[in-house]
Amino acid sequence: LIGADGIHSRTRRTLNPDAPEPSYTGLIGIGGYSRVEGLAATPDTQHFVFGKRAFFGYLVRATGEIYWFVNLHRPVEPTREELARITTAQWKRELLDLFSDDMPLINQIIGNCVDEIGCHLVHDMPTSPVWHRGPVVLVGDAVHATSPSAGQGASMAIEDAVTLAKCLRDVPGTGAAFAAYERLRRERVERVVAYSRRLSNTKTAGPVARVFRDLTMPVALKVFASDKAHAWMYTHHIDWNTPVA
């Protein structure tokens, strides 16, 4: 049995009743679709804005449709029921107010939302101490859930799947294959989850920390946002034809 049932995995809890629970990052993810006349398509680019009170991102498709999202800091975790009661009109009013002191384009995009505004709580989970037992193994968010801040959640799950398939192909016995899979994956996924958590923390900065962040951001981006600095994450390659030792 391969447990790929997400961050709130029942398979993980069945495999290990003492497994850690997902941790709330202090962020609510909000998003929608809009149309704004005159915006050029950004097929290879996403725009990110550290606003004064929230984080905003958007991209413009060739069709003119704009996908946008907001990371909103809420230190106290609301319940899913509380979030479900917030209407699209209420979200729109709150977001327009939150970004009222930021670049006007943000409110232009939000104000032209053409569909419902969705929201979800942002959680992460460094890793489960138990990845496998007997004929059961965990993959993806079920065993290590990263926040969306690094954009690596789907990538980590796909890497897991390919690595697990290689191990089952090359290592005799499912138990040994599962152990090889964990050995090959654990260090990398824990590093990605930790990195993504640090990025999330920049979106929950208070007034003083926000000033420091904004002052240091230009230098930090030049040093830490280079291709070389992120090569460990973005150039990772799994060779399907190389046998697992």
Task: Give the pLDDT band (50/70/90) at residue 234.
Answer: confident
Q: What's the pLDDT at 212?
A: 55
pLDDT at 148 over 90: no
Gap between the terminal Cα atoms of the chain: 23
Task: Report the DSSP pairing between strands 55-60 and 65-73.
Answer: antiparallel
E strands, the chain, are 2-3, 23-35, 47-50, 55-60, 65-73, 118-124, 132-133, 136-138
Same domain, 81 and 138: no
Overall average pLDDT of the 64-74 stretch: 95
pLDDT at 124 over 80: yes
**CB burial of residue 132 (10 Å; 0-12, 13-18, 19+):** buried
Same domain, 225 and 199: yes
Same domain, 216 and 131: yes
Q: What's the pLDDT at 217?
A: 61
Of the ranges 107-116, 141-150, 220-229, which one carries the lowest mean pLDDT score? 220-229
- Angle between helices 174-202 and 153-170 in degrees, nearest 10: 170
Same domain, 102 and 118: yes
pLDDT at 142 over 70: yes
* Predicted TM-score of the model (pTM): 0.82
Give the Cβ contact number of residue 155 at 10 Å: 15
Of the ranges 74-78, 131-135, 148-152, which one carries the lowest mean pLDDT score? 148-152
Domain-embedded: residue 243: no
Cα–Cα dist 131/109, whole Å: 43
| Tokens representing residue 218 in the block | 């230009």
Same domain, 131 and 14: yes
Give the Cβ contact number of residue 224 at 10 Å: 10
For the chain, what is the mean pLDDT?
A: 90
Closest among 243, 132, 119 to 182, alpha carbons compared:
132
Same domain, 17 and 28: no
pLDDT at 116 over 60: yes
pLDDT at 157 over 70: yes
Number of domain units in the chain: 2
Same domain, 184 and 221: yes
Q: Are 190 and 180 in contact (CB under 8 A)?
A: no
Domain holding 189, by residue range, is 2-21+125-234
Cα–Cα dist 176/187, whole Å: 18
Same domain, 196 and 84: no
Of the ranges 192-201, 217-226, 236-245, which one carries the lowest mean pLDDT score? 217-226
Q: Are 8 and 22 in contact (CB under 8 A)?
A: yes
Cα–Cα dist 155/192, whole Å: 11
Same domain, 79 and 154: no
DSSP letters, 136-204, are EEE-GGGT-B--GGGS-HHHHHHHHHHHHHHHHHHSSSHHHHHHHHHHHHHHHHHHHHHHHHHHHHHTT
Percentage of the chain surpassing pLDDT 90? Answer: 72
Task: Give the pLDDT band (50/70/90) at residue 197.
Answer: confident
Cα–Cα dist 9/96, whole Å: 36
pLDDT at 208 over 80: no
Q: Are 25 and 73 in contact (CB under 8 A)?
A: no
Same domain, 119 and 182: no
Overall average pLDDT of the 9-32 stretch: 94
pLDDT at 199 over 90: no
Same domain, 111 and 175: no
Of the ranges 3-17, 86-100, 202-216, which one carries the lowest mean pLDDT score? 202-216
pLDDT at 26 over 70: yes
